[in-house]
Amino acid sequence: MAAGQALARAGRAAGNQQMQAIGTRVEGVGLICLGQLAEGTTLMAAALSAEPVPVRAVDTTALLPGAYLAMGSPGRCQAVSEPMLAVAERAGDQVAAAMHTAMLAGACYLRGDWRRGSDLVGQARQRFAASSPPMAVRAVGILASALTWHGDWDQARDYLDGCLRSARSLQIVHSERSALAYLAELDTLHGRPRDALTRLHPVTSGHSPPATERLRQAIADSPGSG
């Protein structure tokens, strides 16, 4: 976030709009990763309108609609991902197309359109499989959730195990923690909450005691905690 602010200031001072837009976009990414979604999405949306990002900048172009999903705004997610998907398809970029297909699937689920969401999840997984990109781990939340919601727990676990290996190999900490959290959810659904606690220890150990205790209590109260 600090680096983005510095770059944006330098761009303004030099009268370089492209540099300023890039800096604003980087600051927005930092804010979103810090959980300040409203501020981050506002900055990113402004930067994207001022200086469109190449479709291959998958991380940046997918982060904004992903943040909109987290805010419960499927319409804004769709408004970003639909045109980006069209550009990606024209360019033959399977990675970007897969990411934005996954984002649109998430928007469908938020609206309650499970059939369309399931179709888009299938398309996203096919596109990821065809391109075998490391970026596939970025969509872990949407794809794993869909498989779990539809009761495809074995498929979800296989997918998450693969994502966990990839995230660790690529040192993508956020995706690694997301995969661990969804695997812990599956442990709990299978009636193994103690396994979930063990799995989540690397994630919860650095948090304050109240947060950890709330998590432990939630799992202890779950069905099958025994």
Tell me the pLDDT tens digit for each residue of 152-173. 999 999 999 988 998 898 888 8
**pLDDT tier, 226 (very low <50, low <70, confident <90, very high otherwise):** very low
Task: Give, in order, the Cα–Cα distances in Å from 83 to each of 50, 52, 88, 178, 186.
Answer: 16, 12, 9, 27, 34
User: For residues 94 and 187, which has the higher predicted lDDT (pLDDT)?
Assistant: 187
Q: Residue 56: helix, strand or coil by DSSP? A: coil
Task: Give, in order, the Cα–Cα distances in Å from 168 to each of 33, 105, 145, 188.
Answer: 19, 26, 20, 23
Task: Give, in order, the Cα–Cα distances in Å from 218 to each of 134, 148, 201, 210, 222.
Answer: 33, 19, 14, 12, 6
pLDDT computed for residue 218 by the predictor: 57
User: For residues 216 and 143, which has the higher predicted lDDT (pLDDT)?
Assistant: 143
Kindly state the average pLDDT of the residues 33-61. Answer: 80
Cβ partners under 8 Å of residue 136, min gap 6:
98, 128, 163, 166
> Which residue type does 4 have?
G
Cβ partners under 8 Å of residue 71, min gap 6:
37, 38, 41
User: For residues 225 and 181, which has the higher predicted lDDT (pLDDT)?
Assistant: 181
pLDDT computed for residue 116 by the predictor: 96
User: For residues 214 and 84, which has the higher predicted lDDT (pLDDT)?
Assistant: 84
pTM for the complete prediction?
Answer: 0.80
User: For residues 201 and 186, which has the higher predicted lDDT (pLDDT)?
Assistant: 186
- Least confident span in 26-30, 113-117, 169-173, 188-192: 169-173
Q: How far apart are the first and last CA of the chain?
A: 45
Burial of 87 (0-12, 13-18, 19+ CB in 10 A): middle
Using CA atoms in the order 141, 143, 148, 151, what is the torsion angle rounded to 10 degrees? Answer: 170
- Does residue 216 have a pLDDT over 60? no
